[in-house]
A and B are shown apart, each in its own frame.
Chain A
Amino acid sequence: MKRTPLHQAHVALGARMIEFGGWEMPVWYAGIQAEHHAVRQRAGLFDVSHMGEFIVHEADSTAFLRRVLTNDAALLEVGQAHYSLLTNAAGGTVDDLLVYRLPAGKKGGAVYLLVVNAGNIDKDLAWLRSQVGPGERVKIDDRSPSTALIALQGPRSALILSELTAMDVWHMPYYHFARGEVAGVQALVSRTGYTGEDGFEVMAANEDITAVWNAALKAGAAHEIQPCGLGSRDSLRIEACMPLYGHELGDDISALEAGLGFFVKLDKPAMNGLERLRRERLEGPARKMVCLELLDRGIPRQGYPILAGGQPVGEVTSGLLSPTLDKAVGMGFVPVAHAALGTELAVDIRGRAVPARVVKRPFYKRAEG
């Protein structure tokens, strides 16, 4: 199993470690619920160094990314990032990722940083490289092995991060980033995250990340920061209805089925899966992701059948007892006929049909300001 540069720090903090996508990662330190509440109410610090980082550059980089990703990289200014999906030829999803537009390099053409899911690094890299056309001037460098990433999330994130850097993190707009010194090392700081709270992600070289991690915990102590594992990362993203590859996204699931149409820009000359996505945009997809709230006791889990009139019509892709809302909630896919808000369905929990209702997405949204 692979280990992140923060492995020793996790062990020292008493983390319970699990295998995730070939990596040995902390699943919790204090407990998933305590970490979940810490992020909603105060601040949490996550090691997400297992994620992959690619640099896409040279003269045709923008045209290349416009063709392989659903969002439009041409819309990004230097210092800006957005969410996007890597599609296969049939319009299914190879991975979901963040695209950062970096300052231009010496060789001309825009330079992009892609942050991808840990379990998909090899697959994404092979797919991206297979999509480079003959004579197309684009290079894809895998920086994953040397790059570390941590996420500082929660309402006190800016307060804590501002103590580690001279950068103006308070005024950094959502989905923007800047490079600068954090805790004495060079880092890339973005106002991004996967929790539904305000927060930042800090990227640095492997050998530098421990300095940032330790400084954040030290400065955060007065603000009751909590180191957080993958358990609360999952529970937080489910409450915020953010998709996870392998659950709400997969080779046969399109971005539009998953309700991610905002990140699908089809005004392009060519794009992988363009035909299906254009059809689904015009006619609507045949099935859709729905958010379900259970009306009786039980917790929906991945793979449990979703029932309409007693018959299976789909499956749950993620579910939990929401720590913030104290309700059992889940996401799953059903034919559009059963996807309207308020539709009464049921989830088959170990042979028991537990009534459920289609509710608005997301389950949890933070108060503005």
Chain B
Amino acid sequence: MSVPTDLKYTAEHEWVRIADGRAVVGITEYAQAQLGDVVYVELPKVGDTLRAGKAFGVVESVKAVSDLYSPLTAKVAATNQALIDVPETVNGDPYGEGWMVALDLDGAEGLDALLDAAAYEGLIGG
């Protein structure tokens, strides 16, 4: 399983892409494979403040509900509304169209605690 080297990660299997003053967040290939068919995604509202390490939404497979954990303390700048109607995108393109929220990097905290690809790969035994 390949872990993209240009992203940062959390131990709870979220990825973070830092670009253009935002941190885009999704779940990893490993996480989607563990979950199986994603059938429902619940996301926060734009403007909500997320807390690093705290649950900010859920992703549900046929069988189970899993919390999404925020990698940063930051404000939500955008959410991926397309996932509301087509949640299976999380399975098909977890690092691309399956993104979940974009956080505003202005005033964000917790960036230093994120894992790099090698550390995350070690975590999942890759």
Report A's interface with B, CB cutoff 8 A.
Answer: 16, 27-28, 31-33, 36, 231, 234-235, 297-299, 301, 320-321, 323, 350
A355 to B36, CA, bound (A): 27
Q: Is the interface of B mostly helix, strand, loop or mixed?
A: strand
Residues of chain B contacted by A297 (CB below 8 angstroms): 40, 84
Number of interface residues of B (CB under 8 A): 12
A231 to B65, CA, bound (A): 14
Residues of chain A contacted by B65 (CB below 8 angstroms): 299, 301
**Is the beta-carbon distance between A31 and B37 smaller than 8 angstroms?**
yes
A309 to B62, CA, bound (A): 29
Query: In B38-66, which residues have CB < 8 Å from any A CB?
Result: 39-40, 42, 58, 60-63, 65
Residues of chain A contacted by B36 (CB below 8 angstroms): 16, 27-28, 31-32, 231
Residues of chain B contacted by A36 (CB below 8 angstroms): 62
Question: Can you show 20 pairs from A to B with CB atoms below 8 A apart?
Answer: A16-B36, A27-B36, A27-B63, A31-B36, A31-B37, A32-B36, A32-B62, A33-B37, A33-B39, A33-B62, A234-B63, A235-B62, A297-B40, A298-B40, A299-B39, A299-B65, A301-B65, A320-B63, A321-B60, A321-B62
B28 CB, min distance to chain A CBs, angstroms: 16
A321 to B60, CA, bound (A): 10
Report B's interface with A, CB cutoff 8 A.
Answer: 36-37, 39-40, 42, 58, 60-63, 65, 84
Smallest Cβ-Cβ distance to A234: which chain B residue: B63
Residues of chain A contacted by B42 (CB below 8 angstroms): 350
**Is the beta-carbon distance between A231 and B63 smaller than 8 angstroms?**
yes
Residues of chain A contacted by B60 (CB below 8 angstroms): 299, 321
Residues of chain A contacted by B37 (CB below 8 angstroms): 31-33
B58's partner among A28, A234, A323, A350 (CB-CB below 8 A) is A350
Smallest Cβ-Cβ distance to A28: which chain B residue: B36
B39's partner among A16, A27, A301, A321 (CB-CB below 8 A) is A321
A99 CB, min distance to chain B CBs, angstroms: 30
Smallest Cβ-Cβ distance to A328: which chain B residue: B40
Most chain A CB within a 10 A radius of its CB, from B36, B42, B60: B36
A320 to B65, CA, bound (A): 10
**Is the beta-carbon distance between B62 and A320 smaller than 8 angstroms?**
yes
B67 CB, min distance to chain A CBs, angstroms: 10
A298 to B36, CA, bound (A): 18
Residues of chain A contacted by B39 (CB below 8 angstroms): 33, 299, 321
B60 CB, min distance to chain A CBs, angstroms: 6
